[in-house]
């Protein structure tokens, strides 16, 4: 018995257990899981005594604007942020230029990413009112992870679907045994509150947050759950921002409706009032809500109501945000967040709010199951050696120099977290260590969903 690499001395965490083990890696895959006192021959031994070993993070919600506005983010910088943040697979949203609505535009994107990244990646396709005719081919003749739609105008580049298209789309999704990612907010309610803000001449930061009330999300989630129920379609709700919507999704699941909830760090680390301090640098959609909602979200996070955590990493130039300091409506929607994604969750483990098993389920295992990513999400023999070593005792303030994304700003700068990823292995290769990249770009591999 011999392995290429042996990771020794660590404590392995799975979705439901924690145990000491040595892990052998051969040809990029996990080849051995050994008792802590058993060592085999290996070309390289990595001693991680005192640290935890978790399945690599899977972030199913990143916007890299590549091809397109690569000055905001590109595939290379985005996947570098993943590498240092302990994310070994990301799933790219389809809203760049061109938007992925058919096989041609999917090919444009896929060609663009070859040999340019640090971590593995899958891709979401998209559907708008004009592209329903192309959706069957897009799903059946490719390995895309899901088909994304908007129930409201959210991205300036991509149209949203009315109820008729949502219904038709969900019927098609059910027929193909596919998955739809649904940005659920009520478009008319947003437009109503936007008009109120504009009529009142408001340009302050809070006026934006007030234009997207919590009930607009809850209503849209409820409507889509009902459509999912009558069509039988599987739906993932990304970036859920309200405790009430999490409860609706949980109730639906208990009824046997195939729905899942993703949420993001911004809803657990910030509240609406923070807009007064950060303004455009916290402008995204759905918005943050009140302190009380945040507390309830934390409670539901610990209880398993959140299936997956994504970053919704969607950066812009600092200048794009700065020009909106006196008029929030001039700011584009989106913030970065990949580098701290595991850290804020690990910090919550240290403060007793979550367990490490919880974190593994929400950052890796559940994604691998929901999105059918072969070889991902578990530390098991035969799986890809996507492994993250975390130091639960490392306490560090996040600063500009920790940012590997293209634009060097983040609302998390100055936040202190205890518990950080310190080594990231993608298919057995150490891609990042202690916040530094260890290889050149080009290691990334496209992951097609399992069929
Ligand atoms: Zn998004």
pLDDT at 385: 98
3-state secondary structure (DSSP) of residue 211: coil
Q: How far is ligand 1, taken at its centre, from the CA of residue 155, in Å?
A: 9
Measure the CA–CA gap between 405 and 313, rounded to whole angstroms. 10
Q: How far is ligand 1, taken at its centre, from the CA of residue 63, in Å?
A: 7
pLDDT at 129: 87
3-state secondary structure (DSSP) of residue 196: helix
Measure the CA–CA gap between 333 and 303, rounded to whole angstroms. 30
Q: How far is ligand 1, taken at its centre, from the CA of residue 51, in Å?
A: 32
DSSP string for residues in 272-283: GGGHHHHGGGG-
Q: How far is ligand 1, taken at its centre, from the CA of residue 341, in Å?
A: 15
Tokens matching residue 288: 């943050």
Q: How far is ligand 1, taken at its centre, from the CA of residue 286, in Å?
A: 9
Backbone φ and ψ of 436, nearest 5°: -110, 145
Can you list the positions of beta strands (E) in 29-86? Answer: 29-34, 41-47, 52-55, 57-62
User: What letter does residue 60 receive in the DSSP assignment?
Assistant: E
pLDDT at 370: 98
Sign of the torsion angle spanned by Cα atoms 160, 165, 170, 176: negative
pLDDT at 266: 98
Q: How many residues does the chain have?
A: 451
pLDDT at 87: 99
Q: How far is ligand 1, taken at its centre, from the CA of residue 27, in Å?
A: 34
pLDDT for 79-118, tens place per residue? 999 999 999 999 999 999 999 999 999 999 999 999 999 9
pLDDT at 136: 98
Mean pLDDT per 10-residue segment, the chain (451 residues): 96 98 98 96 98 98 96 98 98 96 98 97 96 97 98 88 97 98 98 98 97 98 98 98 98 98 98 97 98 98 98 97 97 97 98 98 98 98 98 98 98 98 98 98 97 91
Q: How far is ligand 1, taken at its centre, from the CA of residue 314, in Å?
A: 7
Q: How far is ligand 1, taken at its centre, from the CA of residue 62, in Å?
A: 7
Q: How far is ligand 1, taken at its centre, from the CA of residue 337, in Å?
A: 12
Q: How far is ligand 1, taken at its centre, from the CA of residue 316, in Å?
A: 13
pLDDT for 145-190, tens place per residue? 999 999 999 887 788 999 999 999 999 999 999 999 999 999 999 9
Q: How far is ligand 1, taken at its centre, from the CA of residue 60, in Å?
A: 10
Q: How far is ligand 1, taken at its centre, from the CA of residue 313, in Å?
A: 7
- Interior CA angle at 251 toward 270 and 364, to 5°? 55
Tokens matching residue 143: 């390995």
Measure the CA–CA gap between 80 and 84, rounded to whole angstroms. 7
Quote the crossing angle between the two packed helices 163-175 and 132-140, to the nearest 10°. 30
Q: Is the bond into 407 cis (omega within 30 degrees of 0)?
A: no
């Amino acid at each position: 018995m011999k392995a290429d690499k042996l990771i020794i001395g660590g404590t392995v965490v799975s979705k439901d257990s924690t145990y000491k083990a040595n892990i052998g890696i051969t040809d990029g895959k996990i080849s051995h899981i050994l008792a802590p006192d058993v060592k085999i021959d290996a070309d390289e031994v990595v001693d991680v005594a005192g640290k935890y070993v978790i399945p690599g993070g899977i972030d199913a919600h990143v916007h890299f604007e590549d091809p397109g506005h690569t000055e905001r983010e590109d595939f290379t910088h985005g996947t570098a942020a993943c590498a240092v943040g302990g994310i070994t697979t990301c799933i790219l949203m389809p809203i760049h230029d061109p938007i992925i609505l058919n096989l041609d535009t999917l090919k444009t994107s896929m060609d663009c990413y070859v040999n340019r990244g640090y971590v593995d990646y899958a891709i979401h396709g998209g559907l708008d009112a004009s592209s329903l005719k192309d959706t069957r081919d897009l799903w059946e003749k490719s390995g895309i992870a899901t088909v994304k739609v908007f129930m409201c105008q959210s991205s300036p580049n991509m149209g949203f679907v009315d109820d008729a298209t949502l219904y038709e789309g969900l019927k098609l999704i059910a027929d193909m045994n596919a998955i739809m990612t649904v940005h659920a907010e009520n478009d008319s309610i947003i437009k109503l509150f936007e008009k109120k803000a504009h009529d009142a001449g408001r340009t302050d930061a809070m006026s934006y947050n007030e234009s997207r009330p919590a009930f607009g999300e809850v209503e849209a989630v409820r409507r889509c759950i009902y459509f999912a129920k009558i069509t039988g379609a599987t739906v993932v709700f990304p970036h859920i921002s309200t405790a009430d919507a999490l409860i609706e999704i949980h109730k639906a699941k208990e009824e046997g409706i195939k729905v899942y909830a993703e949420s993001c760090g911004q809803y657990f680390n910030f509240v609406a009032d923070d807009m007064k301090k950060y303004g455009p640098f916290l402008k995204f959609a759905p918005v943050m809500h009140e302190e009380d909602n945040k507390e309830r979200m934390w409670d539901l996070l610990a209880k398993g109501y959140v299936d997956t955590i994504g970053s919704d990493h969607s950066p812009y130039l600092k200048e794009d945000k700065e020009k909106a300091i006196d008029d929030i409506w001039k700011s584009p929607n989106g913030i970065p967040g990949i580098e701290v994604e595991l850290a804020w969750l690990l910090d919550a483990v240290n403060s007793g709010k979550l367990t490490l098993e919880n974190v593994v389920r929400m950052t890796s295992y559940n994604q691998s199951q929901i999105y059918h990513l072969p070889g991902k999400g578990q530390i098991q023999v035969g799986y890809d050696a996507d492994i993250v070593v975390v130091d639960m005792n490392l306490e560090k303030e996040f600063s500009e120099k920790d940012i590997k994304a293209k634009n060097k700003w983040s609302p998390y700068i100055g936040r202190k977290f205890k518990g950080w990823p310190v080594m990231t292995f993608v298919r057995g290769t150490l891609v990042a260590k202690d916040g530094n990249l260890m290889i050149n770009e080009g290691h990334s591999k496209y992951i097609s969903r399992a069929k």
